[in-house]
Amino acid sequence: MADAWTCPLPFRDHDRVTLGHGGGGVLTAELVEHVILPGFGEAAGDATVDAAVLELPTSNAPPKFGSSGPPPGQDPPKLARCGSPADADRAKLAFTTDAYVVRPLIFPGGDIGSLAVNGTVNDLAMAGAQPLALSAGFVLEEGLEVTTLHRIATSMGEAATAAGVRIEAGDTKVVEAGNADGMYITTAGVGVVPPGVDLRPERAAAGDVIIVSGDIGVHGIAVLSQRDGLEFGTELESDSAALNGLVAAVLDACPDVHVLRDLTRGGLAAALCEIALTAEVGLSFEEALVPVPGPVAAACGFLGLDPTHVANEGKLVAVVPAADADAVVDVMRSHAQGQGAVAIGQVTDDHPGTVVCWTPLGASRIVDRPLGEQLPRIC
């Protein structure tokens, strides 16, 4: 039986997917690293990033091959991943894809449709790209009200128009009642990164300033407040919004922004930990400076949640050179999506790979990515 198929031991003792594997934290990273990417094999790019930035082929007429593939000894044309300073001098292509399974489908301040458009636009924006086109795929549950589908499709159109992008392609499938919880949406997007823009976690450097664009935790708590059995009184509405306009304004003022990340699954904590681990630097921030609105703080206190772990759909964190920090904050505050912008901390050579939070009492604690899923099905 030496040639028999074998399966590696389950990572973290899980032999089945759990809700925690969708939380954007440690379990998600392990699922991608130990199961999905090994399955892709040699076909895998850097599938751990939200938006891949690729160098366009230089040939005006790349070779075309039939279904049998390239001739023997000839490789197919490839897009090269950008990652050197020289790449910043050329326009580049950004590409991303997202799946949305939020429940309920319609929530205060948005719905699964606008969320899907804004989320994909934002992934492109975090790479510095302005969106060119989106596609949308629907998995609909048998019995879904047609009026609900029309409302969500209309919301997608309005969100795309607001972001300055068109939905150019799509697909629709229907599954039996009980198998899709209403609907799921997958969106993909392409955009162009202008010359001179180079946004990567690896660029975070000691002395850089960490800036958050506004109140955190609003989307997660707004959605949670509508869950069956968990309803609680709040006037919060989701912060779901396209951030490409805000990013364009920031890059106009400071072309040398080092890192941008939207604060979706896993919240601020997950974004900061990703930057620290990727760049092998330390990050520290002041807890008192993090903008957490009162209703979010109250709900998190009641439910035992850390606000820095709660998802957002219209907020970002920027890592910028110290000399540009004040200008970036001012530009953000002048934009509708960045009025609450504030600098919360800095990058340091100390404790590389680790994020440290300083409390109002002067104590410190290590901030880690959420292990599992605190709030399932919020994006």
The residue extents of the domains of the chain are 88-193, 201-367
Question: Which CATH class name applies to 201-367?
Answer: alpha beta
**Where are the extended beta strands (E) located within the chain?**
51-55, 80-81, 92-100, 106-107, 110-111, 130-141, 166-175, 183-193, 209-212, 259-262, 282-286, 316-320, 342-348, 355-358, 364-367
Residue 76: what pLDDT?
45
> Which regions in the chain score pLDDT beneath 70?
1-14, 17, 19-25, 31, 36-37, 39-40, 42-89, 228-234, 372-379
The whole-angstrom distance between residue 254's C-alpha and the CA centroid of its chain comes to 22
**Could you report the per-residue pLDDT of 277-332, keeping only the tens digit for each?**
999 999 999 999 999 999 999 989 988 899 999 999 999 999 999 999 999 999 99
Pick the CATH number of 88-193 from 3.40.109.10, 3.50.50.60, 1.20.120.160, 3.30.1330.10: 3.30.1330.10
Q: Quote the mean pLDDT of the chain.
A: 84
* Amino acid in position 357: C
Residue 33: what pLDDT?
75
Provide the greatest CA pair distance for the chain: 68
- Percent of the chain having pLDDT more than 90? 59
Residue 114: what pLDDT?
96
Q: Tell which residue, 270, 247, 269, has the closest CA to residue 260.
A: 247
What is the model's pTM?
Answer: 0.81
